[in-house]
A and B are shown apart, each in its own frame.
Chain A
Amino acid sequence: MIYGFAWDTSSPLAYALSILPILGIGLIVTLEAAISGFAIALVLGLVWCLLRRSRLKAISWTVAFVVEFIRDTPLLVQLFFLYYVLPDYGITLPAFLTGALALGLQYSAYTSEVYRGGFDAVPRGQWEAATALNLSRFKVYRDIVIPQAIPRIMPSMGNYAVSMLKETPVLSVVTVLDMLNLANMIGDRTFEYLVPLSIVGLIFPVMTTLCSAGIHALDRALPKAGFALR
C-alpha cells in the first residue's frame, strides 16, 4: 500500500486502475514542482536579464558567464550540488524545495534569454519617446516596455514551462515523490514495472499536448500590440 491505496495485480487492467490514484497524487506533486520551479525561473530570469543590461561591464559580464554556465551544465548535477552542498553550509531545505530551486535555476538561464528577446523587440522609438517625456526608468519599464513585451514572450515562456514539466521526473532522484518515483516504488514492490511505467509514459505526452494547446489558445487571446493600459 502507498498513500493508503492497495494494488491489485490480478490482471493488467485491474493493476492499472488500482494504481491510478497513487500516480494521481504523484501527478499533483509533479505539477506543484513544475509551477514552483517556473515561478522561480520567471523571477530569476528577469533578474539576470536586467543585470545584464547594466552599464557596469563587470556586472553584465559576470552575470552573462554565470547564466551561460548554468545553461550548459546538466540539471541533474546542479540538483545534486544543491541537495548535497547546501546542508554543508547550514541551509537544509526540504527535497521538494531543493528540486524546485534546481529547476528554477536551470530554466532561469532560458527565461533570461526570452526576456532579452522581448525587450529587444520593443521598437527603439518607444524607449526614446518615453525617455523624451522624462519618464523614470522604472516607469519606462513598467508602463511602456513590459506591457508591449509580454505578448511577444508568452509563447516561448509557455514552451519552457512545458519543457520544465517534462524535466520534473529528475527530481525523483532526490526523493521527491513525483509520478515517476511512485511508479518505481510500486514496481519495486510488485516486481511488475511495465504497467506503472507505461502509464506514466502515456500521461506525460497527453499532458504536454494539452498544455501546448492551452498555451496556443492563451497566445491567441492576448492582444498583439501589448496590454491595454487605461
Chain B
Amino acid sequence: MTWTHYIPALVKGAEITIVVALVSTVLGGILSFVVGIARVEGGPILSKLALVYIEFMRGVPLLVKFFWLYYALPLLGVSLDPMTTGITGLVLNISAYGAEVVRGGLKSVPDSQFEAARALNFSRAHVLLHIALPQAIVEMMPAFGNLAVQNLKDTALVSLISIADLTFQAQQLRNITLDSARIFTLTLIGYFIISLAIALAIRLVERWTRRGAAFPRAAHG
C-alpha cells in the first residue's frame, strides 16, 4: 500500500475523534460553569463540595478515569458502552479544569462592578448572570481555548477503550501493514490539523465575545 491508501481509514477515525471532541467539549464546558459557579457563589457547603470535586477530578489521571468507568463501574452494576464511557471520562476531566477557569474569570471582574450592581439593588443571581459572567467570559476564552486543544489530545485515549477514533484506526493499520513511520506521521498531522481548526474556532468565538465597541483592548472599569 502506498501511504495514500491509509487516508480513508484515518479520515473515518478522524470523524469519530472530532465528534467525541466536540460533544465532550460542549458538555464539559457546561459542567465547568455549573461547578465553577457553585465554587464561587455556592455558599459554604456547596462551594466546599465543588472544591472537593475539582481537586479530586483534577487529581485522577484521565486514563485511570476511563479504565475505572469501563472495568470497575460494571462491578457496581452500571455498565456503560464505550462511547458513553469515553465522553463521560472526558467531560469529568474538562469540568474540573474548566471550573477553575470559570472561577478565575469571575474573580477578574473588578469589585467596583459588583459595588455598582449592589447599589442598583440587583439580586445576586442577576449580578452573576448579566453583569459578572459577560465580562468574565472574555477573560476565560484564552484558557478555554487551551483546554479545548488539550481535550482533543486527550480524546486519543478513547482508542484504548475500543472507540474507533483516529488513533485506533492508526493502530489497526499498523497491525496490518507494520508501516509505523508513515501511519503515525499521518496521524500526528491529522491531529495537528484538527487542533489548528479548534484554535481558529476559539479565536473567532473570542472575537465575538469582545464585540468591538464594548471592549477596547486595554480598558478596565
Contacts and interface: CB of A to CB of B under 8 A. Distances in A.
Nearest to B56: A205
- Consensus secondary structure, chain A interface: helix
B132 interface: no
A166 interface: yes
Nearest to A211: B59
Contacts of A204: 59-61, 64
B191 A80 contact: no
Given A77-B156, A85-B181, A206-B59, A197 B188 contact: no
Contact of A208 (B59, B72, B153, B154): B59
A200 B66 CA distance: 12
A85 B167 contact: no
Given A74-B153, A204-B61, A81 B76 contact: no
A173 B66 CA distance: 13
A85 B170 CA distance: 13
A167 B72 CA distance: 20
B64 A84 contact: no
Interface in A190-209: 192-194, 197-198, 200-201, 204-209
A80 B170 contact: yes
Most chain B CB within 10 A, of A77, A85, A192, is at A77
Interface in B156-177: 156-157, 159-160, 167, 170-171, 174
Contact of B181 (A74, A77, A88): A88
Given A204-B61, A206-B59, A209-B59, A77 B191 contact: yes
A194 B76 contact: yes
Given A74-B191, A193-B71, A80 B184 contact: yes
A179 to B, nearest CB: 9
Most chain B CB within 10 A, of A73, A88, A207, is at A73
A198 B174 contact: no
A156 interface: no
Contacts of B68: 193, 197-198, 201
A78 interface: yes
B180 interface: yes
A205 B55 contact: yes
Interface of A: 69, 72-78, 80-81, 84-85, 88, 166-170, 172-173, 180, 183-184, 187, 192-194, 197-198, 200-201, 204-209
